[in-house]
Amino acid sequence: MARLGINIDHVATLRQQRDEGYPSLAEAGRICLENGADQITIHLREDRRHIQDTDVSTIKLVTQKFSKPLNLEMGCASEIVDIAIETKPDWICLVPEKREEKTTEGGLNLLDTHQLEKVAATIKRLREAIPETKISLFVEAREEVLEKCIALGCDAVEIHTGEYARAYLEGNDISKYLEQFAIGHSLIKAQNIGYHAGHGITDKSLAPLVEQNLFEEYNIGHWVICQSLFDSLGNVVKRLKELTPN
């Protein structure tokens, strides 16, 4: 059975739009875990566009209450590493970051010497400070990139599924992506490293991946929050209407 991680970043996005203190990130985490999520994922970005520093420790307490993992996505900035070391998440997923991007646009470019060295130095610092925390790398399913991941000694890779998910939603052929994911699986699992997936996945684009039975973990966020509006919006309106009868 694959694990399901729910990314609740966009609950924080809504909160930050108005800075009214709601919606509650802790409540979002609780609801997800009570309804079957296997872990909570949050991304503390350098620009703090959604998740804030204090959210990390708050969500860590929520996941501890349910005996479930906290997966902290983060770049390699020193100040973010400091926070990770202080809060000791169960998993850290190292991702690339660009201030101008709307969302993470691709995997770590480990073929670039500078980025490879930066990731290696970050892994070394994390291993020394919080050796119990597992580390994954957010990458494309390219053999030469996965070889770098193996050399870095990570505990897992999380494959960037953004292009696949977009192709699926647009009705395009997805066979090349599924083949690429299968090749990556063979390479990674031969080294006893975890094989995870995330980015852009919806309920519909999830189905072919589950059928492949390659990934041990899926991290899904944006679609979950969007779909939740329609699944529960009517109930909220009904409750308000009961408070304002004609």
Return the structure tokens found at 150.
Answer: 């193996």
Give the Å distances, CA to CA, from 113 to 109, 119, 120, 145. 9, 10, 10, 12
Residues 73, 97, 158, 217: which is the catalytic one? 73
Q: Tell me if residue 10 is catalytic.
A: no
Q: Please say if 199 is a catalytic residue.
A: yes
Q: What letter does residue 198 receive in the DSSP assignment?
A: E
Burial category of 173 from C-beta neighbours within 10 Å (exposed 0-12, middle 13-18, buried 19 and up): exposed
User: How far lies 68's CA from each of 38, 40, 102, 126, 235, in Å?
Assistant: 6, 8, 29, 21, 29
User: How remote is the C-alpha of 211 from its chain's centroid?
Assistant: 21
Would you tell me how many other CB atoms lie within 10 Å of the CB of residue 144? Answer: 9
114 an active-site residue?
no
Selection from 217, 184, 74 nearest residue 133 by Cα: 74
Alpha helices in the chain (DSSP H): 9-18, 25-34, 53-65, 78-87, 113-129, 143-152, 162-169, 175-189, 203-212, 222-243
Q: Which of 10, 43, 50, 160 is catalytic?
A: 43
CA distance 239 to 7: 27
- Annotated catalytic residue: which of 10, 50, 199, 217? 199
Residue type, 245: P
Q: Please give the positions annotated as active site.
A: 43, 73, 199
